[in-house]
Structure 1
Amino acid sequence: ATANTRLVGLEIAYFINYLKDNVGLNPKHVHLIGHSLGAHTAGYAGERIEGLGRITGLDPAEPYFQGMPSHARLDPTDAQLVDVIHTDGSSIFLLGYGMSEPCGHIDFYPNNGKEQPGCDLTETPLPLTLIKEGIEEASRVLVACNHVRAIKLFIESINSNCPYIAHKCNSYQNFLQGKCFSCKENDTGCAIMGLNTVRPNHAPGAKYFISTGKDTPYCRRQYKVMLDLAKPPRAESWVQGFMKVSLHSDNGVIRNLDLTPNGYERMEHGTSRSFVVTHPDDIGQVKRVEFYWEYDMDVLQPRSICFFWCNDHLYVSSIGVTEADEDGSRGKRGVLMDSKLCSQGPREYADIASRTSAVFIDKCEDQELLN
């Protein structure tokens, strides 16, 4: 199959050029979409079609293409816009079938472009899929769930009311920590993934990250939660633990969003930390936040063991909640959502003991007047 990709690409190029020469088709209006080997096939076609408008590569295949020269795989010169969605970029030795290296004008990496939510063997509904859709689809779910997720994400983007907003970042970890959240007008810090993608005004090679859900609808609205930590005299210089937030707004309540899904986080008092959380709903302007804290001891870190001689409390001055689509120009909402919430108590900060919660409200100005 790999050996035939160039031949098939040449046949596609011949057909489009025939339409150009005989019926006046303008190649700039042609959009080729290819999955796996089909992405590279579209690339081979594009290099033989002058002025081809767009190629969308859906998880381009890795074997025989990763690390190869640009003329031997999909690359940005194959069309006026080459956009790529990577969903299965683990090593082929770990059954990852997709490329991990950028190969378009703009490259999207949902969930780091590797393991997709809902594709773990413990989460895939194989018996139900076998009954409802047959052995072929069940086999595809078993061995290629990550690989075919790119197709499902692109299809959903066509009619979704939820904007697939991705953020340019140098690593997925930094994205999850809210360090790459710029999304202002004429800014290349964010882009829409899927059908509505536009060519960025920077050089190819950048990676755009986005988090999605494990089932339909896959699109998730992204919220940055920023914690400003106080440092009163009795506070430890740092503590570590788990955190959750519940967000209250005029549109309803989103409960127990996990800020630490991958394990405890070390929190240094007197600093700020940010986290990206996702949810399918548009929550609107946040009016109230319930923040839960649970200290965690690690036997491999003796300094984290806390009994009678240390303070396991977390001291939080304020909590900020911002939606990713800050200016509305790239998404479909068009409303700025940027809330700052302060402690409901008498102090300038909340003193939160382990395994307890504190409430923050959007009355920071009133709180500052009281203090």
Structure 2
Amino acid sequence: MTTSPSPPSRLDRLREQSGHLIGTYGLLALTALLFLVFSLALPRTFPTHDNVSSILSTQSIPAILALGATLPIVTGKFDLSIGYGLGLAHVMVMQLVVNDGWPWPLACLAVILGGTVVGVLNGVIVEFGRIDSFIATLGTGSMLYAVTGWITGGARIVPSPQGLPTAFTDLYDSTFLGLPVPAFYVLALAVLLWLLLERLPLGRYLYVIGSNPRAAELVGIPTRRYSIYAFAGSGLIVGFAGVLLAAQQQIGNPSVGLDYLLPAFVGALLGSTAIKPGRPNAMGTLVAVAVLAVGLAGIGQLGAQFWVTPLFNGATLLLAVGLAGYSARRRLRTGATPAPESLSPTAPTGDSSPGNPP
């Protein structure tokens, strides 16, 4: 005679609910806690409008790049070319505007479209070449770095004494409602990706591909096509970040993009442990970038040495990977994986996204 399992006790339910709340909002609470701690330690410099504006401005490009890295990660793949692509994109903007005399809007549009093309090529190589995304994008990234060196000759692109057009530099330098405009770019991009991933069938299919590619194929989802879409979206975002980097630095530096690669992946991977624990998501990435921004700003104002920043980023990356793996395993244990038949492209698209089975 078999006995049915006993229902969970009230204490078990309380533990489950508290674990869910910590997983969902833990990073957000940590951001507030870090801000409070540094404000108490540095009352004259940290909790000020100028400092907040500086954090929002300097961390806008890493945040945009982290959101770009999130898209391929949703499908279970990595795009390691984003740092190299960022370097090439901002150099190309400077090359077209300074050396070739292009109007800056046309140059920016060409670079963003070029970034999209690079993303498509990454996706084609990964999907049709059947090459692991880690290796494939590392190879294409090295080629992008070579193109950057070929264009610049290893030297910086410096504008004329008249400088760059004011309208172009205002893309980064201007303010809105008393805050830097780049912060609103980040917010708008995060909301756009949230809508794409959480509210549209395209996002649902991307999540299915990332969680179980074989099941996605069985229900008729064209996995190759949607994976290429994810890489293309990442490339487009990288191109946009390159435009902002050119407007920020106002000089073409062929090696600057690599500095953004690690922070971008730290933000994207750490973001998969927040808001929607166990899966990459735009709002989680935004919260993760906020944690990193406040932490780096605080330790910088406390007088930390230059090597503390890469140490912080590296340690946080290891922590992010560990927490992301734990969140994914916990999500599987709680039975949050949807049945494949509920994810068929012909099925109703109400609220049957991965993690929210009907």
Work out whether the TM-score is over 0.5: no
TM-score (norm 1): 0.20
TM score, norm. by length of structure 2: 0.20
More strand by share: 1
Q: Pick the structure with greater CA Rg.
A: 1
Q: Which has the higher contact order (CA 8 A, sep 6+)?
A: 2
